[in-house]
Structure 1
Amino acid sequence: DYRIKTIVFRQLIRHQSTDTSLILERSINRVQLLGRVGQDPVMRQVEGRNPVTIFSMATNEMWRSGDVETSPAGDVSQKTTWHRVSIFKPGLRDVAYQYVKKGSRVLVEGKLDYGEYVDKNNVRRQATTIIADNIVFLSDNIRGRDQ
């Protein structure tokens, strides 16, 4: 039923479009990260733009190496990956700035964004950012900045 509706919708879009190269397709750019905050958030405002709250968070991947049958304990290895989280959504931006703190365990939902910037040495660098649209606070020790 869903596939039939999708096909009909695509045909309708193609039929109604005067530009035959226009084909609307659904795509998904969705990320979920569960980890710990690496630094207290900062709020920045670039000239002419709305403020943004930014913080880093770490996720960990763990695995056992070696033969599990001969060495049940095995060697446990861990890799930590750091992510840059940016929040533009006004209500969420302010709540995150006030309540997220270093060490907090959070679930961040959003989308991936790739961009470029020029560092202080005028070197062009690439940046990957998570644009958050939802944060779930999982730590018991969340406090506001004014406490």
Structure 2
Amino acid sequence: VFRRPVLELMRFVRHVSETTTSLFFERSQNRVQLLGRVGQDSVLRQVEGKNPVTVFSLATNEMWQSGDSVVYQMDCVSQKTTWYRISVFRPGLRDVVYQYVKKRSPIYVKEKVDYAATIIADDIIFLSDQTKEEE
């Protein structure tokens, strides 16, 4: 059950320590999971015959109840929509996405973040028991 996430954590990144000149390997992971609806039909783009890519937009909605009412009331519900630009480079997957991903389709995407983004943490897992005072 936990094999895949553990294997993903086992990817290594080369890192130079500030205190020593020797190299050591640090485990890291860059994965985001999104569940939402497609905002536009997917588009296949290719510049001068290089690196074809299929792109589409994905919207996720966050809803919460505002106010102090315990009873669900439609006028007390707030919603925020966040848009993401999804790029698919992998051959095969790129072509399937271009053919089948259409506007308003519900879709689940597992991806990596390529550019700087603000990630709002809902859960944190501490992988070390070290505190700042021990460093």
TM-score normalised per structure 1 = 0.61
Return the offset for 1:68: 2.9
How far apart, in 2, do the equivalents of 1:48 and 1:103 lie?
A: 30
The amino acid that maps onto 2:33 is Q
Consecutive unaligned residues in structure 1, runs of 5 or more: 1-12, 14-18, 116-127, 129-147
The amino acid that maps onto 2:32 is V
Off by >3 Å, runs of 4+ in structure 1: none
Identity %: 68
Q: Does 1:41 align with 2:42?
A: yes
Query: Residue 112 of structure 1 aligns with which residue?
Result: 113
Query: Residue 58 of structure 1 aligns with which residue?
Result: 59
Q: Does 1:90 align with 2:113?
A: no
- Structure 1 residues 77 and 54, CA gap change in structure 2 (3 angstroms): same
Q: Does 1:76 align with 2:62?
A: no
Please list the CA deviations of residues 111-137 of structure 1 after superposition, one character each: whole Å capped at 9, or x if unmatched.
Answer: 01117xxxxxxxxxxxx6xxxxxxxxx
How far apart, in 2, do the equivalents of 1:88 and 1:33 lie?
A: 18
Query: Residue 7 of structure 1 aligns with which residue?
Result: none
The alignment partner of 2:27 has SS state of coil
Please list the CA deviations of residues 20-42 of structure 1 after superposition, one character each: whole Å capped at 9, or x if unmatched.
Answer: 34221110110111000000011
- Superposed CA RMSD in Å reads 2.1
The amino acid that maps onto 1:36 is R
How far apart, in 1, do the equivalents of 2:101 and 2:49 lie?
A: 26
The alignment partner of 2:110 has SS state of strand
How far apart, in 2, do the equivalents of 1:97 and 1:38 lie?
A: 14
- Larger Rg computed on CA atoms: 1
The amino acid that maps onto 1:101 is K
The alignment partner of 1:96 has SS state of helix
How far apart, in 1, do the equivalents of 2:26 and 2:63 lie?
A: 37
The alignment partner of 2:92 has SS state of helix
Give the aligned length.
97
The within-5 A match list for 1:123-142 is none
Consecutive unaligned residues in structure 2, runs of 5 or more: 1-13, 15-19, 118-135
